[in-house]
Amino acid sequence: MANITINEVTKKYADHIALDRMCIDIPEQCIYGLLGPNGAGKTTLIRILNQITAPDSGEVRINGELLSQKHIAQIGYLPEERGLYKKMKVGEQAIYLAELKGVKKAEAQKRLKTWFDKFEIGGWWDKKVEELSKGMQQKVQFITTIIHDPQILIFDEPFSGFDPINANLLKEAILELRDKGATILLSTHNMASVEELCDCITLINHGKSILQGRVNDIKRQHDTHQREIIVRADDPNPIYALGDTYNNIKVEQTDLPDETKLTLFSADSNELIARLLGIGQIVAFKEVLPSMNDIFIQEVQSQNQAS
């Protein structure tokens, strides 16, 4: 179990500031999303956590301890730009990468066999990497990222290059790792996977955190109080007539001829429902929360305009 505290971390490059007094608290056993447009500073932050670069100022603590060389064995990192030695055999390479993380050879071999079977690539152990398809290489890379049982996992665009079936396999593996106690930092542009996986997120733009918190809380904050009602009636005209009497209702035809959709821009829906009951059958009623995609675009654009 590990929690990460990023405190006032700043990193400047020759021509721009990559991170500007960044503060993030990542609780243990959680999937934490790191979002932001290209060039926002996500990769720099991830590289600082991996001690590939050092911050100009500020500090990173893991379980209260300052980040140091000994933490390297506790972190598993799947970079966005990832590859393998093409001419090396798959198994040999996986063992090499595990050994670099401090796993003993025999132990690495045992663990790798298990994971290779789980990801259905056991037969490829003695093949050269260049003979593997891209998806298979991605699987090998994912396995080598987690083979040393790290408490902290950092995934940068983990789903790129996976077909839906394998993406699902990966998703389940990530959730399983979290349930076993790992703290997971997920950097991605795939908003659907953020909604599915992430417990908390930080949205970064121009090196600054512009939105932070639990996914559900953020959605609640951005709630525009929309409700969606679908009514089944052979004659939709009374529904349209009803819609005209309110000024905050939008009525439209769905794909089915006998179903009509009402969008209510208000949290107070009881009265409307009572009146609809007399017109037809209510098939669906749901609260519409903004998608992370909408929130992302809205927040980044409003910040870009402000600056």
Partner 1 sequence: MNKIGLIIKREYLTRVRKRSFLIMTFLGPLLMAAMYIIPIMLALNSGSSSQNMRIAVVDESHWFEDSFKSNEQRTFVNMPGQPIDSVKEMVKTGVFDMALYVPPTQLNIPSNAVVYSIRQVPMEMETYISSVMQKEIEDQKLMAKGVDPEIVSAVKTSVNLSVMRMDEKGNEKETFTQVQFTLGIVLALLVYMFIIFFGGQVMQGVSEEKTNRIIEVIISSVKPFQLMMGKIIGVSLVALTQFVLWILLTGVLYVGFSAFVGLSNPEILSQGTLMSQEITSTDIVNNENVQNILQIVHSIDFGTIIVSFLVFFILGYLLYATLYAAIGSLVDNNTDSQQFTLPVTVPLMVAIISSFYIVNNPDGALSVWLSMIPFTSPISMMVRIPFGVPIWQIVVSVLLLAATFVLMTWLAAKIYRTGILMYGKKLSYKEIFKWLKYK
Q: Does 131 bind partner 1 (CB under 8 A)?
A: no
Closest CA to 184 of 234, 150, 222, 207: 150
154: nearest Cα among 8, 60, 47: 47
Report, in Å, the least distance between residue 203 CB and partner 1. 24
CB of 100 or CB of 284, closer to partner 1: 100
CA-based torsion, 274, 276, 277, 278: positive or negative: positive
Q: Out of 54, 192, 267, 297, which residue is the one contacting partner 1 (CB under 8 A)?
A: 54
- Do 280 and 233 contact (CB within 8 A), yes or no? yes
Site membership for partner 1, residue 70 (CB under 8 A): no
Among 42, 71, 101, 111, binds partner 1 (CB under 8 A): 101
Assess 52 for contact with partner 1 (CB under 8 A).
yes
Nearer to partner 1, 1 or 100 (CB): 100
Residue 72 CB partners (closer than 8 Å, separation 6+): 50, 51, 101
In whole angstroms, how close is the CB of 268 to partner 1 at the nearest point? 53
Smaller CB separation from partner 1, 143 or 242: 143
Cα angle 133, 188, 38 (rounded to 5 degrees) comes to 105
Helices (H) and strands (E) in the chain, counts: 10, 14
Round to whole Å and give the CA distance between 153 and 94: 17
| Cα 159 from Cα 143, distance rounded (Å) | 14
Find the binder of partner 1 among 32, 77, 116, 155 (CB under 8 A): 77
Q: With binding defined as CB under 8 A, does residue 59 bind partner 1?
A: no
Which of 100, 267, 284, 297 lies at the binding interface for partner 1 (CB under 8 A)?
Answer: 100
Among 64, 83, 257, 278, binds partner 1 (CB under 8 A): 83
Angle at 201 between CA 200 and CA 203, to 5 degrees: 165
* Segment lying near partner 1 (by CB under 8 A), choices 52-60, 190-198, 232-240, 286-294: 52-60
Is residue 111 close enough to count as binding partner 1 by CB under 8 A?
Answer: no
Q: Please report whether residue 97 would count as binding partner 1 according to CB under 8 A.
A: yes
State the nearest-atom distance from the C-beta of 223 to partner 1, in Å: 39
The rounded distance, in Å, linking the Cα atoms of 126 and 41 is 39
Which residues in this chain contact partner 1 in the complex, by CB under 8 A?
Answer: 14, 47, 50-52, 54, 56, 72, 75, 77-79, 81-88, 96-97, 99-101, 141, 144
